[in-house]
Structure 1
Amino acid sequence: MDENPGVSEEYRMVSPWPLFVALGIPIAEIGILFGLVPLAVGGLLLFCGSIAGILRENEYVSSAWRGLAGVSVFVIAGGLALWYADTATASDLLIRAYSLIGTGVLLLVAGVGGDLFARDAEPGL
């Protein structure tokens, strides 16, 4: 009988991504909730970059750049939803919508540009 079944030294025991996810979510939420653009953008960049790293680490995507571009679609969709909600109601959501859309565009440009021009370099790995 084996004391440690399935444990091998070739596998990493700890992933660094949960720490960055745990930091990115509250920073982004504080920025979006209070309309603080630098916090919203920085927190979303940290959170989405961590999600792309998790997707690559678990081999759901072939490149972290493609994961980053895929995550950007959801951020842009959230920003467009806030933009629509601002026009449909009398609330002040426009600065939050612009923060999300701007971050999504930055992520999309980084993901597509990284996939096209930095194929040998993997972000965060």
Structure 2
Amino acid sequence: MDENPGVSEEYRMVSPWPLFVALGLPIAEIGILFGLVPLAVGGLFLFCGSIAGILRENEYVSSTWRGLAVLSVPVVAGGLALWYADGATASDLLIRAYSMIGTGVLMLVAGVGGDLFARDADIGI
């Protein structure tokens, strides 16, 4: 009789991505809320990269790089919404908008560049 029926040595038991999602989202929120550009950029990269990794691990996307490039669109859209809201209100949201737009552009460049130049690289997923 087997102690662990249905469990094989070849399958990974735990996914590493939920930890990085749980870290990336609050770091990004703190950076955006307080206008701390390094935290906003790093947190958004960590959060969106983890989401792209989850999508690749579950085979919703064919490449992690393409998932990262697609996730850059809502980040840029959120930054543009903050930029628009800065003009409509008296608050100072420009540094937050610029950090989100910049992060989205960097994610797009990383996703397209990674898909073009690191196509055959094995990243362990």
Normalising by structure 2, what TM-score? Answer: 0.92
Pairing 1:79–2:82 present: no
Structure 2, unpaired ranges of 5+: none
Structure 1 partner of 2:12: 12
Structure 2 partner of 1:29: 29
Alignment of 1:50-61 (within 5 A): 50-61=50-61
Structure 1 partner of 2:121: 121
TM-align CA RMSD: 1.7
Structure 2 partner of 1:96: 96
Q: Give 4+ residue runs of structure 1 displaced > 4 Å after superposition.
A: 2-6
Per-residue deviation at 1:8?
Answer: 3.2
The amino acid of 2:41's aligned partner reads V
Q: Deviations over 1:87-114 (max 9, x none)?
A: 1111111100000000000000000011
CA distance in 2, matches of 1:75, 1:122: 27
Structure 1 partner of 2:38: 38
CA distance in 1, matches of 2:122, 2:84: 36
Going from structure 1 to structure 2, the CA distance change for 1:111 and 1:48 (only over 3 Å counts) comes to same
The amino acid of 1:104's aligned partner reads G
Going from structure 1 to structure 2, the CA distance change for 1:123 and 1:76 (only over 3 Å counts) comes to farther
CA distance in 1, matches of 2:32, 2:17: 22
Asked if the contact 1:64–1:123 (Cα under 8 Å) also holds between the matched residues in 2, the reply is no
Structure 1, unpaired ranges of 5+: none
Aligned residue pairs, count: 125
CA distance in 2, matches of 1:6, 1:52: 28
Asked if the contact 1:65–1:123 (Cα under 8 Å) also holds between the matched residues in 2, the reply is no
Per-residue deviation at 1:7?
Answer: 3.4
Per-residue deviation at 1:117?
Answer: 1.1
